[in-house]
Amino acid sequence: MDKEIEPFAQLIDEFLKAETVSFEKLKTRLDSIAVAGRIVNKYTLAIRANRKLSERNSLELKLEEIGNKLEELAEKMALHFNELLLMDYHLYADIVQTASILMKFMQDTISNPCRQSLGIFRDAVMSNPPLRYGYKVISLLEHDSTNPLMRAMASSPQNSTAKFKKWTNIINGVLSQFLFLEAFLIGMFWDQDMYGPNKLESRIEKLNQKMDKLNGAFIDRITHFFNGLFVGTLN
């Protein structure tokens, strides 16, 4: 199982370097996350059946290392999400907090694989399904009135390209956490039936395409506006 967990460990290293759960890195490696969930579940069963609590093998040490890196990643991501919360969108405050709590419960199954940690994580994702929350974020983003990206760009059109990149990274970070969680729990509890992760990945991809088009239209409108001002000053 040590070799099977390695692609997951490498992915976490990449996220940590980027300081976020990157959708572009995540979308092609959902299977690696599901495999990690399955490994943690199997390892927990093996502990209960065959292993003394005082023993520590290479897989346990690797899981502990991954758990520590996930904790560090969560701290870095929190800095990005704080700006989203400061925009006075109470709907997003609940969503960001839910993602953070679920990620902590997931991390605990990795750092402390046992029946209790898996049970707590299972209860948490059943009460707050990541797929449902991912769809909720997408639904909010489909309306200008609840889209922080559109609000931020409309309030100050200067440097709109930089702002677009910044806010799409923040939003994708939130969505990608739910996608990550969905893939992990599928592997852990549902024997890697990838229906949920694949559906959410597809919806996020379509949302990104739509947002790219909106950004292009917004830039064209601002360019036209400033060109008009320039012509007006010449006249």
Does the pLDDT value for residue 19 go beyond 60?
yes
Q: Give the per-residue pLDDT at 67.
A: 95
Query: Each residue of 121-178: pLDDT tens digit?
Result: 999 999 999 999 999 999 988 887 777 777 666 666 555 667 677 777 888 889 999 9
Query: Each residue of 84-125: pLDDT tens digit?
Result: 665 556 677 888 889 999 999 999 999 999 999 999 999 999
How many residues in total does the chain contain? 235
- The count of domains in the chain is 1
Burial 136-146 (b: 16+ CB within 10 A, else e): ebbebbeeeee
Looking at per-residue pLDDT, the higher value among 115 and 219 belongs to: 115
Does the pLDDT value for residue 231 go beyond 60?
no
Task: Please list, in sequence order, all residues whose beta carbon lies within 8 angstroms of the beta carbon of residue 132, skipping any fewer than 6 positions away.
Answer: none
Q: Give the per-residue pLDDT at 53.
A: 47
Domain carrying residue 185? 2-234
Query: Each residue of 207-218: pLDDT tens digit?
Result: 988 887 776 666
Burial 54-68 (b: 16+ CB within 10 A, else e): eeeeebeebbeebbe
